[in-house]
Structure 1
């Protein structure tokens, strides 16, 4: 799937995936991204909000509420319907790509259809 013509980055994918079960605020998104990616993706607060801003601009996430906690604003983000569709489509694309690599029979079948044979 794409955001304005580019493939989803790992941080964008995992931020979207972190929101599949409902709205979250920044700190919880950071922790959920780490858990979902087996700590392969670690976001600092600044990086997270840059990703969230890009996803919001693309219409994939939105701010659904805001509260003040200890004098600081805490914004809760949620997937938009387009964001939910995007993360599901990206997961399907990644699964299909992984299947080609991990399934030797499928890989051979793909290779057999692309090999140019002498006439």
Structure 2
């Protein structure tokens, strides 16, 4: 089910899942994504929490632990497969570009 809905990940989706290869809460995800992309991707709270809710619903991520009122998340095995499939898709696109694009 999740494979069809998330056939192609957007950059925010990709980086959120990549961030969740380690247990993180919402603010840690936002900071990590901004840092790793050198500020190119800035996750607004509405975008982040809407995507987290969709990922939870599709069992792509799960709640890891709760500390006070904070919610922590981690990627599931299904989420890892989805992330790896998208990485492979991107790598194939880069190879095609290198093979056929002439500047």
1:92/1:75 Cα in 2 relative to 1: closer, same or farther (>3 Å)?
Answer: same
Q: Write the distance in 2 (CA, Å) between the matches of 1:33 and 1:48.
A: 11
- Structure 2-normalised TM-score? 0.85
Show CA shifts across 1:33-89 (max 9, x none): 112333222112222111101111121111111111xxxx11110001000111111
Q: Write the distance in 2 (CA, Å) between the matches of 1:5 and 1:31.
A: 24
2:89 aligned counterpart, secondary structure = helix
Q: Is the 8 A contact 1:30 1:43 kept in 2?
A: yes
Larger Rg: 1
Quote the residue 2:17 is aligned against: 16
Q: Which runs of 5+ in 2 are unaligned?
A: none
Structure with greater proportional strand content: 1
Write the mapping of 1:58-77 to structure 2, written as runs, cut at 5 A: 58-68=58-68, 73-77=69-73
- Structure 1-normalised TM-score? 0.75
2:93 matched to 1:97?
yes
Quote the residue 2:100 is aligned against: 107
* Cα RMSD (Å): 1.9
Q: Write the distance in 2 (CA, Å) between the matches of 1:86 and 1:28.
A: 22
Quote the residue 1:81 is aligned against: 77
Q: Which runs of 5+ in 1 are unaligned?
A: 109-119
Between stretches 90-99 and 74-83, larger displacement belongs to 90-99
